[in-house]
Amino acid sequence: MSDPRPPLAVLVKGWPRLSETFIAQELVALEAAGHSFEIWSLRHPTDVKRHPLHERLQAQVNYLPEYLYQEPDRVWRAREIAQQLPGYTEAWRIWRADLRRDPSRNRIRRFGQACVLAAEMPDSVLGLYAHFLHTPSSVARYAAVMRGLPWSFSAHAKDIWTSPDWEIEEKLSTTQHGAAFGATCTAFGAQHLREMSDDPARIDLIYHGLDLSRFPAPPDRSWRKVGDPLRLMSVGRLVEKKGFDRLIAALTLLPQDLDWHWTHIGGGGLGDLLQGMAEDAGVAHRITWRGACDQPEVIEAMRASDIFVLPSRVAADGDRDGLPNVLMEAASQRLPILSTPVSAIPEFIDSGTHGTLSADAPEALAAAICDLANDPGKAATMAEAALMRLRQDFGMDPGIARLSERLNAMLNGA
């Protein structure tokens, strides 16, 4: 069991979340490395299912008020306690400056959640660690200042590319109660954050990698032959940056004599729109929308597919993927990969060697699908190379060792 008085508080947007297996994998590994912590979640879970990985975590999970009006007594009681803390006045000053630049309800909610966190965290807490550089890090920063503690973060994708520069710069500052350190999971993101920091050495590139012990050995595939039915699959939220609208458009361009079927796994707000697009295009009968699935279901689907497709792109608001873990999961099952050269995806996939990286235009995606369909031998060779790359360079252990070192240094310094 975890220490009843843990020295670390971990902030997450929501717990558990099916789409954030990389966070669950990391926290389970940190426990195995000897770290004791409690989770503080900004939101309650919305997913009905859970991954087996979630059941392995021993840490206590606490839920902050998702909306302040839902727990007014708790919020006001916490603020009274927070106002007596040594750093409250400074935290209030920082928050007011932030609010002037971002006069939103979300910004107000962040400070209320920070008061609850600062008031309710065990006295034993010596530092805070937040997953995502936007909202969770704001709550961590305000609460840390109130309590006079160091804080740190792990940044991923949307939080880097859609946060305003002023906010990132201050969270990285050595003079404005910035983070003790920041981890990010791509070299692409690490370079960007280092350029914005007054101390680039505090930003670490820490790939999530994959804990291969959680996955079955890759199947000995019977590779499809030219002319056989083609089973395509994708895993990802139905949001703009995943590019599934362009994939549906690409599917309508495939040759009439290609017998294909596409299976999608994941939830998201664009589900009705994308299904409507498929119906209007006359391809709905070739598509299966499975919705949110747990990891065993995802792996089973990967083992039954011929090509994994993730047509990531940069959304209109600048949001984009980092290095999606599903690409490594597909590689773990010897499944050929078709994706796009967005953000950090080329850090794992060297196009033509470990998979195919195509432009995200429908015509380019359709041509890439046809190339893989017409050359199963090449697809098989690239899948084998991606599996080897995963095993050699993208295991989980090195990243966990470095993150553990950073967290210990922060806690010992506190």
Query: Do 168 and 280 fall into the same domain?
Result: no
Query: Do 251 and 386 fall into the same domain?
Result: yes
375 domain residue, yes or no: yes
Number of structural domains found in the chain: 2
221 domain residue, yes or no: yes
Quick check: 144 and 97 in contact, CB under 8 A? no
Query: Do 36 and 122 fall into the same domain?
Result: yes
Query: Do 17 and 87 fall into the same domain?
Result: yes
Task: For 245-302, write each residue's pLDDT tens digit.
Answer: 999 999 999 999 999 999 999 999 999 999 999 999 999 999 999 999 999 999 999 9
Q: Has residue 1 got a pLDDT over 50? A: no
Quick check: 147 and 121 in contact, CB under 8 A? yes
382 domain residue, yes or no: yes
Task: For 293-312, write each residue's pLDDT tens digit.
Answer: 999 999 999 999 999 999 99
Please give the model's pTM, rounded to 2 decimal places. 0.86
> In Å, what is the CA distance from 233 to each residue of 1, 265, 286, 324?
39, 8, 12, 15
Query: Do 187 and 240 fall into the same domain?
Result: no
276 domain residue, yes or no: yes
Query: Do 340 and 277 fall into the same domain?
Result: yes
User: Residue 47's pLDDT is what?
Assistant: 77
User: Residue 50's pLDDT is what?
Assistant: 85
329 domain residue, yes or no: yes
User: Residue 51's pLDDT is what?
Assistant: 85
Query: Do 198 and 221 fall into the same domain?
Result: no
Query: Do 284 and 339 fall into the same domain?
Result: yes
Q: State which residues form the domain around 118.
A: 8-208+396-413
Query: Do 385 and 402 fall into the same domain?
Result: no
Quick check: 312 and 360 in contact, CB under 8 A? yes
Q: Has residue 2 got a pLDDT over 50? A: no
Cα–Cα distance measured from residue 374 to residue 226, given in angstroms and rounded to the nearest whole number: 6
Q: Which stretch of DSSP H or E encloses residue 91?
A: helix 88-101
User: Residue 4's pLDDT is what?
Assistant: 64
Query: Do 307 and 352 fall into the same domain?
Result: yes
31 domain residue, yes or no: yes
User: How many helices (DSSP H) and strands (DSSP E) are in the chain?
Assistant: 16, 13
1 domain residue, yes or no: no
Beta strands in 348-414 (DSSP E): 356-357
3 domain residue, yes or no: no
CATH number at residue 104: 3.40.50.2000
Query: Do 155 and 196 fall into the same domain?
Result: yes
Query: Do 167 and 272 fall into the same domain?
Result: no
> In Å, what is the CA distance from 72 to each residue of 63, 67, 92, 139?
15, 9, 19, 18
Cα–Cα distance measured from residue 178 to residue 172, given in angstroms and rounded to the nearest whole number: 5
Tokens of 306: 């011929």
